[in-house]
Every structure is written in structure tokens, then in C-alpha cells.
Amino acid sequence: MLGLGACGSLLPTPPPPPTMHLLTWAPMPQAVPTTSPVPGQASLRINAPLAAAGFDSRRLIYLREPYRLDYFAKHEWADTPARMLAPLLLAAFDAGGRFRVVTGANSAASAEFSIDTEIIRLQQDFSQSPSQAQLTLRASLLDNATRRVLASREFDARVAAPSEDAAGGVKAVNLALKQVLKDLVEAPEFAPLRASLP
């Protein structure tokens, strides 16, 4: 028995699990509507966000040189950034008050308009000091009746990291996300005026 116990103690200790990080969002004061949505405003569906190649996993990405993506070994997103982005987009547009109703991709309710989004870039750039988090989001507004694209553009934000590590990058990414969502929700071309009620 003692021999078996000694052999067990020679087994390698498994590595600790990676630290998990979240994308989060809270409305800026000016993004909160001061009045209730006006009856007759259009309805909006948030389609499931996509991510460009290389940015569609849970791994935290950083850059030290152009065109090369590296990953933190001991840090990950709690889910893929695209999946974490979906409820944040819904909450941001809902808080913006420019649509009568905002629903998610899984809702059976019909909507006049929908938003397609794709994460083009989500990374911590160490090629400069201090390092910077960069988030680039492409968004398109579609008329669901005609399937016509009414507006399409990229929203980009860069925020200096408070520390030169993964935790600092995550904090900066969340600040960049807050700015990108504010810019998207307040963009005039993403607020159609068509009424959904006669």
C-alpha cells in the first residue's frame, strides 16, 4: 500500500485550469432613453454575430508583430466572443430606445429590420507601449421585407491596456466594446424611421 501511494505521488500534477474572462457591457448615461419608446417605432432582430477567421475561438489573442496571431496560454474567454456579443448587442439596442421592440435571433417574433454583425478584429496589440486592445466590428442593417442592405460600416475602437498582461487586455477590450456599441446604437444610419404600426 505504501509503495502504491509513493507511485501515485510521482504522477505529474495536472495544470491548473485557464482563467476565464467575460465580455461585458453597461449603458453609458447618454445611451439610456429619457422617454418611453414612441408607439409605431420599428422592430429589430439581432442576428447571431459572426467572427472572422482566427477570431472565432475562446482563446485570447495578442499581437507582437504584424500578420501573426498569438494566444495567451493560461487565459481564455468564457465563451467565443461572438456568442458573448449577442446578448450585449440586444441589451445595447434595447437601452438605446430607437426601436419599439428588439429581439434575439432565436425569437419567433417577426421584425421589420435586422442587424448582422461580424467581429473583424479582437486583440491586444503589444507592438506599441502601452499595449492596446483593438475591437473592430462590421455591422449591417437589413430590411427584412426586401432583404436589402440599408447600411453597412465598420466600427473600431482602440483602448490602452492598464497593465501589460491578459487581465489588462480584457479590461481594455471591454472599454473598447462599450465605445463600439455606443457608436453603433447612436449611428443615424442604423435608426430607420419607418413605423411598424399604421
- Give the integer Cα–Cα distance in Å for 4 and 6: 5
Q: Which domains does the chain have, with CATH numbers?
A: 18-26+40-190 (3.40.50.10610)
Q: Give 114-162 as a DSSP string.
A: EEEEEEEEEEEE-SSSS-EEEEEEEEEEEETTTTEEEEEEEEEEEEE-S
- pLDDT score of 27: 72
Long-range pairs for 28-32: beta carbons < 8 A, 24 or more residues apart: 28/178, 28/182, 31/92, 31/95, 31/96, 31/182, 31/185, 31/186, 32/95, 32/97
- Give the integer Cα–Cα distance in Å for 169 and 45: 31
pLDDT in tens, 146-174: 999 999 999 999 999 999 999 999 999 99
What string of pLDDT tens digits covers the 198 residues of the chain?
A: 545 455 556 777 887 888 999 999 887 655 444 445 454 478 999 999 999 999 999 999 999 988 899 999 999 999 999 999 999 999 999 998 889 899 998 887 889 999 999 999 999 999 989 999 999 999 999 999 999 999 999 999 999 999 999 999 999 999 999 999 999 999 999 987 654 444
Cell numbers describing residue 188: 443615424
